[in-house]
Chains A and B, each alone.
Chain A
Amino acid sequence: MEKKNKDQKLIDKKGLRVDGRKTDELRPIKFEIGLLNKANGSAYIEQGKNKIIAAVYGPRETHPRHRALRDKALLRCRYHMAPFSVEERKRPAPSRREIELSKVIGDALEAAVFVELYPRTSIDVFIEVLQSDGGSRGASISAASLALADAGIPLRDLVAACAAGKVDGQIVLDLNDIEDKFGEADLPVALMPQSGSVSLLQMDGNLSQKEFEKAFKLALDGCHQIHDLQKRALRDKYSVKNEVLEDLKGQKEG
């Protein structure tokens, strides 16, 4: 991975970033759905150099039993980085950061799931970061929400997530690892695009109120772009090859 020299600028004279992007441009994103056979639902995302797998199991019986909730399903989430996902070996035990991310990702997803339909069960989301390149919580949420849809779990909406931030004094979209480390601020946002509800909003670093508003708007814009890609990925996976669909009315009579 590249390292930043002391005098290297994060944004050059032409206004391009270290990886050649414009300030309001996302990294290239690729989705793949249903790659794991044993999981009820799964999805894979590549966002820049991020490579992340999300797997969903459930709704299923809750173990241990005493954690089951009487009025709704328990959504559990585990975000984990593989030891080889970063430059220097990461110890495989869950770190403070991973435990925090597991919680916020789980909460961001739960807002979209009809948990109240399946009391006493648990829905387990496992997120494995194979390669990390900054903004992995956003990429994880985008992938995990596709995995939930692939598992056939009823959702209010897909959840799309993306970060904005401040680098070299400018507000930019979708920070990569270098910009995240050496930039001035990072603002991850998760959005349910249909209703416009924000289910995750964090900020690291300092932004003035004006800068915050600009960054927030930019991040929402990025979420909408990711949402379009999510929908396209689902369509590609589930679209029926034949053009015309048979009259399915009578199905339920059987």
Chain B
Amino acid sequence: MPLIVEKRQLVTPGDIIADGEYKAGENTYEKDGKIYASRIGVIGSKQQTVYVIALQSFYLPKIEDLVIGKVVDVTFSGWIVDINSPYNAILFVSEVFDRSFNARKDELTDVFNVGDTLLAAISGFDRTRDPILTLRGQGLGKITHGHLVEMTSAKIPRLIGKKGSMIDMVKKGTGCQIIVGQNGRILVRGKKVENEALAIRIIRTIEVEAHTSGLTNRIDELIKKEKKQNGKKE
């Protein structure tokens, strides 16, 4: 008897999903040859692997992920950054200064201070050590303007869509620049405040209806409708 629960069905922790033949994927675990769900979510399968698409989770750092963080502390050798995850990340001074760093002359707080928002990438993380950030990459560094939106990191893949289809549509439709951090923080920048507000409304809609069918089409219609209304006002 292979799959016990059908695909796309809602499961809760401890629900049995499959018996034998299958491999346990994300958010599942195996015990005595049977596979059980470990989070609330929707069943999916790919070849012989069954997994649960979580409806609620938190961000676990992965190397090369783009994240938006907030500086929470400054130390002798770098900054401690909150990345909306169980673990705070570390950004070393060497990532910022291209020359050798002189603790007597260089004031770390002049570069980034507590409360600053950063766009960074994860350069290292494992079970034994806190995640390490890097600013070496295009567009990485301090964020000075824009709106920040937060949602559960489980729904970020839905916001991006297949090969970025969803986020491209929102960007085009609202004329905003949108940067999605894998940790569930999203930066929205637009020329006009109304455009930013529209983009945020659309992101919230995607969050609420993340796992419903025909979402892409509905969002497309929503953008068109909102644009028409804005056009009338002007």
Residues of A near any B CB (own CB < 8 A): 40-41, 58-61, 70, 112, 114, 118-121, 149-152, 154-158, 192-195, 230-231, 234-235, 238-242, 244-246, 248-254
Contact = CB atoms under 8 A, between A and B. Distances in A.
27 contacts: A60-B86, A61-B88, A114-B29, A119-B127, A119-B128, A152-B40, A154-B27, A155-B13, A155-B39, A156-B29, A157-B13, A158-B14, A231-B15, A234-B12, A238-B40, A239-B10, A240-B42, A240-B212, A242-B213, A246-B214, A248-B8, A248-B44, A248-B53, A251-B53, A254-B157, A254-B160, A254-B162
A246 B215 contact: yes
B205 interface: no
A156 B10 contact: no
Contacts, number: 120
Interface stretch (B54-62, B93-101, B112-120): B54-62
Interface size class on chain B is 35 or more
Main secondary structure of the interface of A (DSSP, over half): loop
A245 B86 contact: no
Contact of B213 (A59, A238, A246): A246
A58 B57 CA distance: 11
B58 A245 contact: no
A157 B37 CA distance: 8
A152 B157 contact: no
Contacts of B128: 70, 119
Nearest to A155: B13
B97 to A, nearest CB: 27
A158 B13 contact: yes
B152 A152 contact: yes
B163 interface: yes
A194 B46 contact: no
